């Protein structure tokens, strides 16, 4: 009509009708009818327009918010974690608060602090808590309360204290891989241990009368309040020592090492019926007693000699503790005399757990002669007896002990991960000979801070990729009993699920940091240590603290006894360190059952004493809170550094897509170990050809290099797919947000996004402790529960995932349709995305399987050194790559069966046999890790 009017005005013609007159109605022709689209086509057009609009607005939204995307992409592990969850509501607020990867590490590192570590130390180290005692049980329940409080674990009505072997105890561990929320409990084992009754040490006259009686207890006063109060709370005795009495002449055997006894034999010194006096150092104390026993001695005395304290001695001008940093002359080193290199754990249940009703043996790893630890003050009197011109009178020793079954308490906690059947174990022992401010309470204080840090992450919504298992072991001091009994109890479960074991014994006894571990974890350990700042020197890292001298270095006199210095250098040489600076694990702490019986890659670390540190009164009442705060770690900065280091190890092992296990470095170390064996063989004049074994190591190295390539490709593929899945979810979510924004402009309500709704019915009340079970579906793993006898066992299952997702989509579609036109349009908008998500999920599952296969090979690498027949004469130890030295105890021997065939047996046939065993193991391991 407008066009006709305009055309009319542009000509000279008169209008058809006058402006003030209306045409007759029938004079105007009816307008032409516009072509109508079919209803189906109109709906399709509307759908296309709707989807296009949403996509356009999503694009605009992403461009406007690209900074948020960059922030999320910078969070290592974010995409993988998001891909592992389906159906969980994802909000931008949560994205920014939940830490992942490096952000999680930063959050964790901000938690441990000196004040909290100091408070924990005072909680655990100001009263005695000998294994099996009332004080020990108190620390077990204190640690349980810590786990419950920091990990958000509900406190059950009945205290979760379970007798080992019971349904509750076994189900607590075997059910770990089915857990959805953190939990904690206490396992009770029943080993045979001893406690002191009465003891005495005397010099007898020719008439048999006592002319001197030793004061066996330590002497302390109120200068050190706890030491003064508890000086005689735990008598000075040897754990697992033989009860009995003995009389005989005194013979000095230096450090009681094998070479010391051999030297006495060479001099014609007869030890039959003698009382052997040895000093601490060089080897594990139980092996000093073993050496004396094998040569017919009647008893053994072991004392602490200040000559072994380096330069911090009274001779060099230092005051004795508690007035100064030198040794208190009445200090006594308690400790176990178990034959550690034979087997650890309960002596009466070798290789199987110590239940209350277990069948028991006599025990072959404990002495048959009595022994006592004594002080330097007492040793001086005895040494005067046997020095040139001394009377060398008869010595009488009494050691009455009570051997009995004593309960011990392992406190356990679990943080379930997305991958619930891969487990990282973190352990620290809790029992002490008296207060143990250093051993083990410095480690317990650091573990306390690790748990606080993990708890803080949980409160922010973090969940580890793998399950984390935390253990506070008991009765370590008697002979690694708590950890060994649990390891023997659940050996099959550990073998199947545990990917690594991180041990912490004492955190701080001095100023020099050291770290040891399986060679496959050497790079991992160094990297973590280089991440943590040096506790006392700005600009340096914790790794640099390996070179620290004691604070008294060069302060006053520098005299260091020649014999003691030589032994100290021998001890350092026994602590084999690779070219990276990481030591080899021997024994003496709770990693032993994991590494050397089951084959789990393990670590251990802490600050130890140098010969210019204040004297550490090991296993003495003077290992007190005052000494720790005054001399070992003023300010508790080292405690915090160790906590951060252990926490980083835990996070990086738990959250790494591919386990940070370097098998190639391990293979290279095997080559070096064999170099040492060849040198020993040449020295011993044994003609053995090791070329075939060398070829097997080379083949293992090649297989490991191929595995390196496979693990890199598998990780890259999985991360890329995880990122794509997470981005698709973000697109859907933000497109919905954009659409809601548009509707709000026109004052229209925004329908609830049903697709992003959690997987539970509307109105269903979600228990806060069951939220993950109701909301989160791990993509890597579906767990179904099977029952075998009285124990729940779980296994991964992926087959339900597609069906569950399909059912969920159908349910949501029905809900959307019931919601009306808006819900229907929302359903149509998601269909295209669903099809893409489905294809990505299938690819993701296949990539996840590939990564899991790689991780299984990496975790199983250490298992490849386990031989069922073990090491000759000490078959409990099954690891043919490393074991505690047969006559060292603490120190490590690499390729132990082969090495000992040369050093102790000097037998060519046995050497060839052991070389063949190693060759077979290496060949099998190379085949197993081939991609």
CB 467 within 8 A of CB 423: yes
Q: Please state the three-class secondary structure of 72-136 as a single string.
A: HHCCCCHHHHHHCCCCCCCCHHHHHHCCCHHHHHHHHHCCCCHHHHHHHHHHHCCCCCCCCCHHH
Instruction: List Cβ neighbours of 423 (8 Å cut-off, separation of 6 or more).
Output: 176, 177, 466, 467, 468, 469, 497, 498, 499
Q: Considering just the CA atoms, what is the radius of gyration of the chain in Å?
A: 36
DSSP 546: G
- 371-374 and 244-248: which strand pairing? unpaired
Burial class (CB in 10 A: 0-12, 13-18, 19+), 765: exposed
CA 329 to chain centre: 38
Euclidean distance between CA atoms 410 and 116, whole angstroms:
23
Tell me the torsion sign for CA atoms 93, 94, 95, 101.
Answer: positive
Within a 10 A sphere around the Cβ of 3, how many other Cβ atoms? 7
Comparing C-alpha atoms, which of 516, 499, 863, 492 is closest to residue 657?
Answer: 499
Length of the chain: 931
CB 69 within 8 A of CB 733: no
CB 442 within 8 A of CB 122: no
DSSP conformation letters of 764-782: PPPPTTSHHHHH---SS--
The helix, strand and coil proportions of the chain, stated in percent and rounded to the nearest 5, come to 45, 15, 40
CB 717 within 8 A of CB 79: no
Tokens of 927: 């085949």
Burial class (CB in 10 A: 0-12, 13-18, 19+), 659: buried
Euclidean distance between CA atoms 583 and 522, whole angstroms:
8
Q: How far is CA 718 from CA 83, 664, 847, 851, 894, in A?
A: 10, 23, 5, 8, 37
Euclidean distance between CA atoms 633 and 650, whole angstroms:
24
DSSP 893: E
Beta-ladder partners of 608: 512
Euclidean distance between CA atoms 293 and 275, whole angstroms:
10
Euclidean distance between CA atoms 299 and 223, whole angstroms:
36
Instruction: List Cβ neighbours of 701 (8 Å cut-off, separation of 6 or more).
Output: 664, 667, 668, 671
- Residue 500 phi/psi, 5-degree rounding, is -165, 155
Coil, helix or strand at residue 27: helix
Tokens of 478: 């008697």
Give the active site residues: 476
- Residue 257 phi/psi, 5-degree rounding, is -80, 165
CB 618 within 8 A of CB 281: no
CB 888 within 8 A of CB 341: yes
Euclidean distance between CA atoms 396 and 301, whole angstroms:
11
């Amino acid at each position: 009509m407008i066009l006709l009017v305009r055309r009319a005005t542009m000509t000279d013609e008169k209008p058809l009708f006058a402006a003030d007159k209306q045409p007759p109605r029938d004079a105007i022709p009816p307008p032409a009818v516009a072509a109508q689209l079919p209803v189906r086509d109109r709906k399709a057009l509307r759908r296309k327009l709707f989807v296009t609009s949403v996509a356009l607005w999503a694009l605009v939204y992403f461009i406007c918010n690209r900074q948020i995307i960059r922030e999320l992409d910078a969070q290592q592990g974010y995409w993988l974690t998001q891909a592992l969850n389906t159906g969980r509501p994802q909000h931008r607020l949560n994205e920014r608060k939940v830490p992942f990867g490096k952000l999680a590490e930063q959050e964790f590192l901000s938690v441990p602090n000196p004040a909290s570590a100091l408070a924990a130390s005072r909680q655990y180290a100001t009263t005695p808590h000998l294994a099996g005692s009332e004080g020990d049980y108190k620390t077990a329940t204190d640690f349980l309360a810590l786990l419950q409080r920091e990990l958000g674990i509900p406190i059950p009505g009945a205290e979760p204290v379970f007798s080992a072997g019971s349904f509750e105890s076994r189900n607590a561990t075997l059910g770990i891989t089915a857990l959805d929320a953190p939990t904690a409990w206490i396992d009770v084992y029943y080993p045979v241990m001893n406690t002191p009754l009465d003891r005495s040490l005397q010099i007898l006259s020719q008439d048999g009368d006592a002319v001197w009686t030793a004061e066996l207890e330590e002497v302390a006063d109120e200068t050190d309040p706890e030491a003064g109060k508890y000086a005689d709370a735990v008598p000075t005795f040897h754990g697992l020592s033989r009860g009995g009495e003995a009389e005989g002449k005194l013979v000095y055997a230096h450090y009681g090492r094998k070479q010391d006894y051999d030297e006495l034999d060479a001099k014609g010194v007869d030890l039959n019926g003698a009382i052997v006096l040895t000093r601490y150092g060089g080897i594990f104390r139980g092996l000093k007693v073993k050496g004396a026993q094998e040569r017919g001695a009647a008893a053994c005395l072991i004392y602490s000699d200040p000559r072994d304290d380096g330069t911090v001695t009274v001779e060099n001008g230092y005051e004795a503790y508690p007035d100064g940093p030198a040794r208190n002359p009445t200090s006594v080193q308690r400790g176990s005399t178990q034959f550690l290199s034979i087997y650890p754990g309960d002596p009466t249940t070798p290789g199987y757990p110590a239940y209350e009703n277990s069948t028991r043996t006599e025990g072959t790893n404990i002495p048959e002669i009595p022994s006592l630890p004594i002080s330097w003050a007492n040793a001086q009197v005895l040494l005067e007896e046997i020095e040139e011109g001394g009377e060398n009178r008869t010595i009488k020793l009494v050691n009455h002990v009570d051997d009995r079954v004593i309960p011990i308490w392992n406190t356990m906690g679990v943080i379930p991960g997305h991958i619930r059947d891969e487990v990282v174990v973190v352990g620290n022992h809790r029992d002490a000979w008296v207060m143990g401010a250093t051993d083990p309470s410095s480690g317990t204080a650091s573990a306390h801070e690790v748990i606080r840090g993990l708890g803080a992450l949980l409160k922010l919504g973090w969940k580890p990729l793998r399950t984390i298992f935390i253990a506070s072991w008991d009765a370590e001091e008697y002979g690694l009993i708590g950890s060994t009994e649990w390891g023997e109890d659940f050996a099959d479960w550990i073998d199947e699920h545990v990917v690594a074991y991180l041990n912490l014994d004492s955190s701080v006894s001095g100023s020099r940091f050291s770290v040891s571990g399986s060679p496959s974890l050497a790079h991992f350990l160094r990297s973590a240590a280089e991440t943590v700042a040096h506790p006392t020197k700005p600009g340096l890292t914790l790794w640099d603290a390996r070179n620290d001298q004691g604070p008294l270095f060069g302060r006053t006199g520098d005299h260091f006894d020649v014999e003691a210095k030589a032994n100290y250098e021998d001890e350092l040489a026994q602590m084999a360190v690779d070219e990276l600076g990481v030591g080899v694990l021997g024994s003496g702490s709770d990693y032993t059952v994991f590494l050397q019986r089951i084959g789990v890659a393990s670590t251990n670390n802490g600050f130890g004493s140098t010969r210019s540190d204040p004297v550490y009164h090991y296993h003495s009442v003077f290992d007190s809170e005052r000494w720790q705060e005054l001399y070992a770690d003023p300010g508790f900065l080292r405690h915090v550094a160790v906590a951060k280091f252990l926490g980083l190890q835990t996070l990086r092992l738990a959250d790494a897509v591919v386990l940070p296990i370097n098998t190639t470095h391990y293979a290279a170390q095997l080559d070096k170990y064999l170099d040492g064996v060849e040198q020993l063989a040449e020295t011993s004049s044994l003609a053995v050809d090791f070329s075939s074994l060398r070829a097997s190591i080379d083949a293992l190295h090649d297989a490991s290099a191929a595995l390196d390539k496979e693990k890199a490709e598998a990780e890259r593929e999985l991360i890329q797919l995880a990122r794509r899945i997470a981005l698709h979810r973000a697109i859907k979510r933000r497109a919905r947000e954009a659409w809601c924004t548009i509707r709000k402009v026109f004052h229209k309500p925004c329908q609830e996004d049903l697709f992003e709704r959690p997987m539970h019915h509307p109105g269903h009340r979600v228990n806060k402790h069951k939220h993950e079970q109701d909301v989160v579906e791990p993509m890597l793993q579906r767990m179904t529960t099977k029952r075998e006898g009285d124990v729940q066992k779980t296994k991964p299952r992926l087959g339900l995932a597609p069906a569950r997702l399909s059912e969920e989509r159908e349910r949501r579609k029905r809900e959307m349709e019931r919601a009306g036109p808006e819900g229907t349009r929302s359903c149509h908008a998601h269909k295209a995305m669903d099809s893409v998500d489905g294809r990505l999920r299938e690819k993701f599952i296949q990539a996840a399987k590939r990564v899991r296969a790689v991780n299984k090979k990496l975790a199983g690498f250490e298992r490849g050194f386990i031989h069922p027949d073990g090491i000759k004469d000490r078959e409990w130890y099954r690891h043919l790559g490393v074991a505690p030295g047969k006559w060292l105890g603490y120190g490590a021997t690499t390729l132990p069966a082969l090495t000992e065939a040369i050093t102790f047996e000097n037998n060519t046939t046995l050497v060839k046999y052991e070389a063949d065993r190693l060759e077979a193991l290496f060949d099998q391991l190379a085949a197993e890790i081939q991609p």
